[in-house]
Amino acid sequence: MSQIGHNSGGIAADHLKSFIERIERLEEEKAAIANDIKEVYAEAKGTGFDTKIMRRIVKARKMEPNTRAEMAELLDIYARALGMSDIV
Amino acid sequence: MSQIGHNSGGIAADHLKSFIERIERLEEEKAAIANDIKEVYAEAKGTGFDTKIMRRIVKARKMEPNTRAEMAELLDIYARALGMSDIV
Amino acid sequence: MSQIGHNSGGIAADHLKSFIERIERLEEEKAAIANDIKEVYAEAKGTGFDTKIMRRIVKARKMEPNTRAEMAELLDIYARALGMSDIV
Amino acid sequence: MSQIGHNSGGIAADHLKSFIERIERLEEEKAAIANDIKEVYAEAKGTGFDTKIMRRIVKARKMEPNTRAEMAELLDIYARALGMSDIV
DNA sequence: CTGCCATTTTACCGGC
DNA sequence: GCCGGTAAAATGGCAG
C-alpha cells in the first residue's frame, strides 16, 4: 500500500472506529431499555398478570386495525378450508 | 490419578463418547427433518399460500380446544380492561 | 389473492390440507427423534453421567468448527474494513 | 384467577393499563434508539463504508470477549466430564 | 413450579 | 416492491 493509501487508510480507520463506537454505545442503551421492559413484565407477573397475554395485547395495539382484521379473516378462511371451527 | 482411576476413567470416557455420538447422530436426523419442514413451507409459499397463517393453523391444531378457548377468553378480558374492541 | 378465495371448498383447500398434513407428519417424526434424544440423556444419567455437562459438551462440539473459521474470518473482516478506507 | 375477573372495570384494570403504558413508553424509546442506530449506519454508508461489513464487525466485537473464555471453558468441561469417570 | 435454555417465530435490513 | 437471509423476541420444554 502506498504512503498516501496508508495515510488515508489511517484516517478512514479512525472514522470507521468512530462510527462503530457510536453504534456500540447506542446498542448498549437499547439493551438497557430492553432490560427495563423485561423488568416491567416481571413486575406485572408478580402482581398476578399473565405476561403472555400482555405481550399479545401490546402487539395488537401496535398493529393497524386493518392488518389485524385481514389476518383474522385469512386465519378463518384457512381454518374453514380445513374444517376447523374457530381459531384464536 | 491412580492406575485404577485412570483405567476406569478411560472406560467411562469411551462410554461418554458413545453417548455423545449417539446424541449427535440423532440431532443430525432431527435437523434434517426440520429442514424438510422448511422446504414444505417454501413449496406452499411458492404455490401462493401464506406461510405465517399456515404456521398458526398447525399450532392451533396441536393445541387442546380448551386451552385455545381459555386463551381467547383471557385475551378478551384483558382487551376489555383496556377498552379495546377485538383482539385476533 | 392467490389461494383460497371466499369459497373455502375447492382444489386449493385440498392442496392446503395436503401441505398441512405433510408438515404434521414431519413434525411427528421430529418429535419422536427429540424423544429419542431425551432417552439417551436419561440413560446416560442412569449410568452416572451429569447430563447438564453432557449438554454443554454437545453444544460446544457443535460450535467448535465455527470458532476457528470465525476467528480467521475476523482478520478478513478487518482487512476489508481497512480496504474500504481508500474510498475516503 | 389472580387478576381481572369477569368484571373488567376495577383496580386491576387500572393496574394493567398502567403496566401496558409503561411498556409502550419504553418500547417507543427503544424504537427511537434503533432508529438512531439505523441513521448512523446510513451516515457511514454515505461516507463510503460498507454497512454489511460494519455490522459484521459490530457483531464480532460483541462476541470476541466470549470467544477466549469459552475456549478455556471447553477444556474445563472436558476435564469435568472425565472427572465423572470415576463414578463409573 | 420456577427459572433457564433451545427452538421457533417475527421483524428488519440489504440486494435484485 | 419482493425476497432472501440475518438478528431480536417470544414461545415452549426441560431440569432442578
Min mean pLDDT across A39-53, D1-15, D19-33 is at: D1-15
Name the DSSP letter for residue D87. G
Q: What is the 3-state secondary structure (H, E, C) of chain C?
A: CCCCCCCCCCHHHHHHHHHHHHHHHHHHHHHHHHHHHHHHHHHHHHCCCCHHHHHHHHHHHHHHHHHHHHHHHHHHHHHHHHHHHHHC
Annotate A42-71 with DSSP letters as a single string.
Answer: HHHHHTT--HHHHHHHHHHHHS-HHHHHHH
Collect contacts of B43-49 with beta carbons under 8 A, ≥24 apart. Answer: B43/C19, B44/C16, B44/C19, B47/C2, B47/C3, B47/C15, B47/C19, B48/C2, B48/C3, B49/C2, B49/C3, B49/C4, B49/C15, B49/C16, B49/C19
Q: How many CB atoms lie within 10 A of CB B44?
A: 21
Residue C64: its pLDDT value, please? 76
Asked whether the predicted pLDDT for residue D20 surpasses 70, the reply is yes
Residue D22: its pLDDT value, please? 96
Specify burial of residue D21 (Cβ count, 10 A radius: 0-12, 13-18, 19+): exposed
Residue D40: its pLDDT value, please? 96
Q: How far apart are CA A68 and CA B80, in angstroms?
A: 17
Q: Which residues have a Cβ under 8 Å from the Cβ of D53 and sit 6 or more positions away? A: C77, C80, C81, C84
With beta carbons less than 8 A apart as the criterion, state whether A21 and D61 touch. no
Residue D4: its pLDDT value, please? 65
Residue B1: its pLDDT value, please? 44
Residue A24: its pLDDT value, please? 95
What percentage of chain B carries pLDDT values higher than 70?
Answer: 86
pLDDT bracket for residue B40 (50, 70, 90): very high
* For helices D51-83 and B3-46, angle between their N-to-C axes, nearest 10 degrees: 140
pLDDT bracket for residue B9 (50, 70, 90): low
Q: Show residues of chain A in contact with D27, CB under 8 Å.
A: 37, 58
pLDDT bracket for residue D82 (50, 70, 90): low
Q: Show residues of chain B in contact with A68, CB under 8 Å.
A: 86-88
Q: Which residues have a Cβ under 8 Å from the Cβ of D86 and sit 6 or more positions away? A: B5, B8, B9, B12
Question: What are the pLDDT digits (tens) for B52-84?
Answer: 999 999 999 998 878 888 898 999 999 999 988
What percentage of chain B carries pLDDT values higher than 90?
Answer: 60
Asked whether the predicted pLDDT for residue C11 surpasses 50, the reply is yes
Question: Out of A12, A16, A54, whose CB is closest to D19?
Answer: A54
Collect contacts of C9-15 with beta carbons under 8 A, ≥24 apart. Answer: C9/A81, C12/A81, C13/A81, C13/A82, C15/B47, C15/B49
pTM: 0.83
Q: Which D residues between 32 and 51 have a beta carbon under 7 A from any strand E atom? A: 34, 38, 41, 45, 50-51
Question: What are the pLDDT digits (tens) for C31-71?
Answer: 999 999 999 999 999 998 889 889 988 988 888 777 777 76
Q: How far apart are CA B18 and CA B26, in angstroms?
A: 12
Q: How far apart are CA B24 and CA B20, in angstroms?
A: 6
Cell of C48: 452416572
Q: Tell me what the pLDDT averaged over chain C comes to.
A: 81
Asked whether the predicted pLDDT for residue D88 surpasses 60, the reply is no
Q: Which residues have a Cβ under 8 Å from the Cβ of C5 and sit 6 or more positions away? A: C12
Residue C9: its pLDDT value, please? 57
Pairwise pLDDT comparison (A44 vs D67), residue with the higher score: A44
Q: Show residues of chain B in contact with D13, CB under 8 Å.
A: 81-82
Asked whether the predicted pLDDT for residue D28 surpasses 50, the reply is yes
Residue C54 to residue B27, Cβ atoms within 8 A:
no
Q: Quote the distance between the C-alpha of residue A67 and its chain's center.
A: 18
Residue A15: its pLDDT value, please? 87
> Which residues of chain A from 12 to 71 reach within 8 Å of chain B, CB to CB?
50, 53-54, 56-57, 60-61, 68-69, 71
Nearest nt (C1') from C42 Cα: F15
Q: How far apart are CA B75 and CA D69, in angstroms?
A: 44
Q: How far apart are CA B10 and CA C33, in angstroms?
A: 29
Q: How far apart are CA D83 and CA B6, in angstroms?
A: 10
Residue C2: its pLDDT value, please? 56
